[in-house]
Chain A
Amino acid sequence: DQQVKQNSPSLSVQEGRISILNCDYTNSMFDYFLWYKKYPAEGPTFLISISSIKDKNEDGRFTVFLNKSAKHLSLHIVPSQPGDSAVYFCAIRAPPQFYFGTGTSLTVIP
């Protein structure tokens, strides 16, 4: 049973606009949430994270929001740039494991 879901397999956004990637999870015991970015044929790279005691974390153009009551996580990228085009995975930590979503492929159109 999938514990982490990313329901949008792909997303296209114009350069300069906001990209919003979403992630839903099932287990309220999860305590730490992460976003990774992945280019083809490469390993994922860590982007940003948030712990369950917060509802927002910001790092430059990237902001992660956590809505614990809705069991929903989102990543906002503002402004979007062509170099942001990649697959984005949400990951959730349930110690000692991490559970990953299926990924959303973001295309930023110049």
Chain B
Amino acid sequence: DGGITQSPKYLFRKEGQNVTLSCEQNLNHDAMYWYRQDPGQGLRLIYYSQIVNDFQKGDIAEGYSVSREKKESFPLTVTSAQKNPTAFYLCASSITGPTNEQFFGPGTRLTVL
């Protein structure tokens, strides 16, 4: 059963702590993405990766870091430098090509106390 998994669904952390959000896909997609959603706002791109061992900053990369050591995995670390980390985080993947849609995971709700 192909898809994207994100874990955990809910995550609580104390202010000042780094936290890593997991994203795994078994769709054999080359491209993977991380978005952040805040109330009343659209999805804003944090980082994306089109191929293993390569990734690019999106519109709001400050305070975040990623790695892409395997095609299936694209973990996101929310660092203590991120000023307002409480949000709903969505991971997506897609094939690369002219008519590619993104497939999304179920999301992780991060709350920083």
Task: Please list the residues of chain B having a beta carbon within 8 angstroms of any beta carbon in chain A.
Answer: 4, 6, 9, 31, 33, 35, 40-45, 48, 50, 56, 58, 88, 90, 92, 96, 98-107, 109
Task: Please list the residues of chain A having a beta carbon within 8 angstroms of any beta carbon in chain B.
Answer: 4, 6, 9, 31-32, 34, 36, 41-46, 49, 51, 89, 91, 93, 96-98, 100-103
Say what secondary structure dominates the interface of chain B. strand
Quick check: A44 and B104 within 8 Å, CB to CB? yes
A9: B residues at CB distance < 8 A: 40
CA distance A45 to B109 in the complex (A): 18
Say what secondary structure dominates the interface of chain A. strand
Quick check: B90 and A43 within 8 Å, CB to CB? yes
Quick check: A43 and B106 within 8 Å, CB to CB? yes
Write 10 A-B pairs (CB below 8 A) sorted by A numbering: A31-B98, A32-B98, A41-B9, A41-B88, A43-B106, A43-B107, A93-B100, A97-B58, A98-B33, A100-B44
